[in-house]
Amino acid sequence: MEKVSTAIDFGGGKEVRFERIGVAGVITLTRPEKLNALSHAMIKAIDRALRDWEADDAVLVVIIKAEGRAFCAGGDLRQIYESRETPLVDYFADEYRLNAYIESYRKPYVALIDGLVMGGGVGVAFHGSHRVMTENAVFGMPECGIGFFPDVGATHLLSDLADNFGIYLGLTATRIRQGDALWSGLATHAIKSDDLEPLYDMLAETGEMDGATRYFLTLARRETNRETIAKIDSWFGAATLPETLDRIELAAMTDEFAAEILAMLRKMSPTSLFVAFRSLSAGQTLSMAECMKMEYRICNRMLHGQDLYEGARTAIIDKGDKPRWRPQRIEDVEEADIDSYFAEPAGGDLVL
């Protein structure tokens, strides 16, 4: 069909575009030079658009997509690092409220993912009703490698995955593709990138996601084989992080995959690993809203700590430099110190 577009200004400047096309409200992330990293202005603008469209009977479906080779590589790490003297608590509070709102959105919310999606990008894509991934899509949660933890609702999203696959993804920062995402439940649909445009056209015309996808669904074979999944389930099914590491260390004596995982974990922030393991484990019995409040508590503590900014420094300032975590070794982390990350912050809990 010929797409008649009506642009709408919900804020966000040149970083995000909002349009009404047919029966669809369309969000397009337009910051490709920054891999569509989410700024605070983008987060607030998306929230305003969603609230407007939820109340508009003429909007039957919301579509979120992106320009460039990445859907969204996460939050704006440089902005976070440069604000280390005045931590961006409000940024994360608004982001977490948006994540929770998307999860409870009352209309079909369709994310069209055709490139890299990590961190904050996961938060605006994977809590909606439909997560469509092409063969070009790559999913990852790299936070433990930068001194943070899997947030933006990952404690709800990853903890739901079978075979302890979510805990594995959250701790190791392993990236997965279309097949693993579909079979684990992270993605709801797999299509070919060439079919994105016709799917988009049909959605804008009809607003009927289930009917539209019948024309474009493709078979995506899982990239991780059953034997490897069984290993992941065994190793990451332990009750504690130390026990998890013991299992992997034992297996690494004869198993190359275990040795690779152990090497990855040894590069992560020790504090992040402990916090991530506990929060992902807790998420198995918490609602999305409860997870967001827990994540806000952890985030507050980390924003006033050291490892996040140290991880950001080595990622964007002194690239290639080895981060100096505090503590540096996993063996030196005290469980009592981890308790403080789950305590109510001085400013109070997140209000959704």
Catalytic residues: 75, 120, 143, 151
What count of residues does the chain have?
A: 352
DSSP class of residue 321 equals P
- 305 pLDDT more than 80: yes
Confidence of residue 37 (pLDDT cuts 50, 70, 90): very high
Q: Are residues 44 and 109 in the same domain?
A: yes
DSSP class of residue 109 equals E
- Average pLDDT for residues 265-282, to the nearest whole number? 98
Q: Are residues 127 and 276 in the same domain?
A: no
3-state secondary structure 32-73: HHHCCCECHHHHHHHHHHHHHHHCCCCCCEEEEEECCCEEEC
Which tokens in the block code for residue 277?
A: 């393991």
What is the extent of the structural domain holding 113? 5-140+177-213
The verdict on residue 122 lying in a domain is yes
Q: Are residues 123 and 232 in the same domain?
A: no
The verdict on residue 49 lying in a domain is yes
End residue of a domain, out of 213, 237, 270: 213
- Average pLDDT for residues 299-303, to the nearest whole number? 97
Residue-wise DSSP of 238-258: SSSHHHHHHHHHHHHTT-HHH
Q: Are residues 188 and 334 in the same domain?
A: no
Q: Are residues 259 and 112 in the same domain?
A: no
The verdict on residue 161 lying in a domain is no
Q: Are residues 78 and 131 in the same domain?
A: yes
Confidence of residue 76 (pLDDT cuts 50, 70, 90): confident
pLDDT at residue 206, rounded to an integer:
94
The verdict on residue 57 lying in a domain is yes
Q: Are residues 209 and 92 in the same domain?
A: yes
pLDDT at residue 1, rounded to an integer:
47
pLDDT at residue 209, rounded to an integer:
86
- 2 pLDDT more than 80: no
Task: Provide the CATH number for the domain around residue 120.
Answer: 3.90.226.10
Match 């320009």 to its residue by tokens: 67
Q: Are residues 182 and 54 in the same domain?
A: yes
The verdict on residue 322 lying in a domain is yes
Which tokens in the block code for residue 297?
A: 């508590």
Do the Cβ atoms of 68 and 32 come closer than 8 Å? Answer: yes
End residue of a domain, out of 187, 213, 239: 213
The verdict on residue 13 lying in a domain is yes
Q: Is the pTM of this model over 0.85?
A: yes
**Dihedral angle sign, alpha carbons of residues 78, 84, 90, 96:** positive
Q: Are residues 136 and 11 in the same domain?
A: yes
pLDDT at residue 155, rounded to an integer:
98
| Secondary structure E strands in the chain | 5-8, 16-21, 24-29, 61-66, 70-72, 109-113, 116-118, 130-133, 138-140, 189-190
Q: Are residues 196 and 235 in the same domain?
A: no
The percentage of residues in the chain with a pLDDT greater than 90, rounded to a whole number, is: 94
End residue of a domain, out of 190, 213, 236: 213
pLDDT at residue 257, rounded to an integer:
98
Q: Are residues 200 and 267 in the same domain?
A: no
Q: Are residues 209 and 236 in the same domain?
A: no
Do the Cβ atoms of 50 and 135 come closer than 8 Å? Answer: no
Query: What whole-number distance in Å separates Cα of residue 31 and Cα of residue 320?
Result: 25
- 108 pLDDT more than 80: yes
Per the structure, the count of domains in the chain is 2
- 3 pLDDT more than 70: no
Query: What whole-number distance in Å separates Cα of residue 317 and Cα of residue 43?
Result: 25
> What average pLDDT is seen over the chain?
96
- Average pLDDT for residues 101-123, to the nearest whole number? 98
The verdict on residue 190 lying in a domain is yes
The verdict on residue 218 lying in a domain is no
